[in-house]
Amino acid sequence: MIQAPKLASQPLRCWAHSASWSTIIRHQRTSILASRTRTWRAYSSAQPRTIEVNGKTYPTDQWFNAPPNVVAAASRKLHLQKDHPVYITRQIIESQFPNSTYKYHNTFDPVVSTHQNFDSLGFPVDHPGRARSDTYYFNKDTLLRTHTSAHQAETFKADQSDGYLISADVYRRDAIDKSHYPVFHQMEGARIWDRTQYPEGAVADAIWADVEKLPKHNVPVEDPNPGIHPERNPLQEAHHTAAEAEAIAAHLKRSIELMVIEIFSRAKAAARKADPDHTDEPLRMRWVEAYFPFTSPSWELEVYYDGDWLEVLGSGVVKQDIFIDAGKPDKLGWAFGIGLDRIAMLLFQIPDIRLFWSRDERFLSQFRGVSDDLASLRRFVSFSKYPACPKDVSFWLSGVSPAGGGHPFHENDFMELVRDVAGDRVEDVRVVDDFTHPKTGRRSMCYRVNYRSLERTLTNEETNALHSEVKKRLVEKLGVEIR
């Protein structure tokens, strides 16, 4: 049986990209991503002056770097498609946060300002997440959101409920492999309290009272570090007392633990349905210190699963400056972010993130009816797996690329180039050699591009043509010298 890939922990640039805080396949043989390549070729020589997304038009400038396949994905909204695995995963998580307290926001527009995506959250001006190598821009002030936190400040400002959940598609330039895609889905959650509703100093007691209202559980949880560390995980001393931060952290952790227990309990039940003899280890969780620009103190939750610790989500006490900037200085609370695609891959044992974008009935029919009966949730059963066709490309770096005004080579530029050419016909790309000549100092890279369609067997002629186009564009766009 094909196993879903392990969801290894990764460095975080906002809420975790992996299982925490990431296209289009036609039912016909040719994917939309691949068929859009012709359009992108035209764009490569003549950048569009405007770009349209969901009926709105935006001007472009020299910052524009969003290819048509990524822009087209904005219309899919997988998290709103009933019986889709991403929808079902969202539904399971929402079930743990009652709508009497939490308002669900699932239709925010994917195009946001740099202020919304970065400035409002306290991202430093030199933060790597702002780079064109990481983010899809329409112009210097407008981009496709890289995380659901882009809507955090406006949701706080609207002040419509004591808590909220935001689910949405998000966009990042990234690696090509079975667990990364330029478009993926996140959920952000928050719980807020208002100091003005309680006598002086009593907000911590009120939060603890809310903690006691939450269900208890008996799953072992490791939480070895102090909730606050003056250097690694500092208290916002100008805004919160230690008692307030402790109470907020307790409510946050209990709420999230209950949600994660629900997810993994359903995963275990699906495993037993697939294999009545299935045995697994008891669920274990642990909290580890983390850093995010918009929370402090901050934590990640990890779950021991399939013999390894798996990063599930990022969370923390909301930076008070965000409330202040939203015009709500008397509010305080917590927030978390989780990657829906990665959790869905684990829940349904889906081995390749590209499958989420498939219109193939062999995929979609397996989940029909689950939204109306979550107890019927079952693991994905793989259909025919077509053969892979790996091909290597080696090249000398020139030091800078003519694309983007002569910036140095960045691996994400190469990944984007391969996606532009092959779309969903490429399964993964990885570096197999990185060599610097001892005399000349020139650097050579060798990448292995693994071509494999989800829908049919690719011929050698097709993959040769695709690979030739990759090499051609490497020279034209990135200024390398093919070896």
- Bond preceding residue 297 cis, omega within 30 of 0: yes
Tokens (6 digits) for 191:
């719980």
CA distances from 29 to 26, 131, 195, 358, 457 (A): 7, 35, 58, 11, 10
Q: What is the CATH number of domain 389-482?
A: 3.30.70.380
Phi (first) and psi of residue 339, to 5 degrees: -85, 115
Determine the residue type at 393: V
- Spatial separation of the C-alpha atoms in residues 371 and 224, rounded to whole Å: 38
Q: What is the pLDDT of residue 454?
A: 87
Strands 183-194 and 331-339, sheet pairing: antiparallel
Task: Tell me where in the chain the CATH 3.30.930.10 domain(s) lie.
Answer: 32-376
Task: Tell me where in the chain the CATH 3.30.70.380 domain(s) lie.
Answer: 389-482
39 has a pLDDT exceeding 50: no
Q: At what angle do helices 85-94 and 242-274 cross, to 10 degrees?
A: 130
- Spatial separation of the C-alpha atoms in residues 483 and 481, rounded to whole Å: 6
Percentage of the chain beyond pLDDT 90 is 75
209 has a pLDDT exceeding 60: yes
Q: What is the pLDDT of residue 40?
A: 37
pLDDT in tens, 92-145: 999 999 999 999 999 999 999 999 999 998 899 999 999 999 999 999 999 999
12 has a pLDDT exceeding 80: no
Q: What is the pLDDT of residue 47?
A: 84
Tokens (6 digits) for 166:
């935001």
336 has a pLDDT exceeding 90: yes
Q: What is the pLDDT of residue 227?
A: 78
Q: Which of 36-50, 200-214, 264-278, 440-454 has the lowest mean pLDDT?
A: 36-50
H or E stretch at 469: helix 460-478
In this structure, the chain runs to a length of 483
Q: What does the pLDDT average to over 35-63?
A: 72
Q: Which of 32-46, 60-74, 360-374 has the lowest mean pLDDT?
A: 32-46
Q: Which of 42-46, 269-273, 317-321, 468-472 has the lowest mean pLDDT?
A: 42-46
Tokens (6 digits) for 448:
């292995």
Tokens (6 digits) for 38:
């012709």
Grade residue 407 by pLDDT with cuts at 50, 70 and 90: low
- Spatial separation of the C-alpha atoms in residues 454 and 463, rounded to whole Å: 14
Instruction: Residue 67: name the closest of 354, 357, 418, 397 by CA.
Output: 418
- Spatial separation of the C-alpha atoms in residues 253 and 305, rounded to whole Å: 19
pLDDT in tens, 229-279: 888 899 999 999 999 999 999 999 999 999 999 999 999 999 888 888 888
Q: Is the Cβ–Cβ distance between 149 and 188 less than 8 Å?
A: yes
Q: What is the CATH number of domain 32-376?
A: 3.30.930.10
